[in-house]
């Protein structure tokens, strides 16, 4: 019985980081997921209508963080820019979250 409790405690402790939200995830969900999708593929009705490129495309994977930051801040194509709507720190967190989605 003690072994079961100890094993359960270890399992739960190891699982907690998986449940924690990554920095940038909440902002991405609120501002980006409608078009880019929860997984970044652009497979949403809005994303399809706007012909949004997947964030997992080779172009976006090869882009530097600075390029993704600039695109997010200034906008690109039909995408609005988020300058004045998100702080630079929030945009950096979104870029980091996009990198996590790309893995």
| pLDDT score recorded for residue 16 | 46
> pLDDT confidence of 1, banded at 50, 70, 90?
low
Domains of the chain from N-terminus onward: 22-102 (1.10.760.10)
pLDDT per residue over 17-54, tens digit each?
544 688 899 999 999 999 999 999 999 999 999 999 99
| pLDDT score recorded for residue 4 | 54
Paired strand residues for 76: 79
| pLDDT score recorded for residue 5 | 47
Q: 0.85 exceeded by the pTM?
A: no
| pLDDT score recorded for residue 21 | 81
């Amino acid at each position: 019985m003690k072994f079961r409790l100890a094993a359960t405690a270890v399992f739960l402790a190891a699982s907690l980081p998986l449940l924690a939200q990554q920095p940038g995830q909440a902002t991405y969900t609120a501002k980006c997921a409608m078009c880019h999708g929860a997984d970044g593929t652009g497979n949403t009705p809005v994303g399809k209508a706007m012909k949004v490129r997947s964030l997992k495309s080779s172009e976006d994977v090869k882009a530097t963080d600075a390029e993704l930051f600039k695109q997010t801040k200034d906008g690109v194509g039909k995408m609005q820019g988020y300058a004045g709507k998100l702080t630079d720190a929030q945009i950096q967190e979104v870029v980091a979250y996009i990198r996590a989605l790309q893995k």
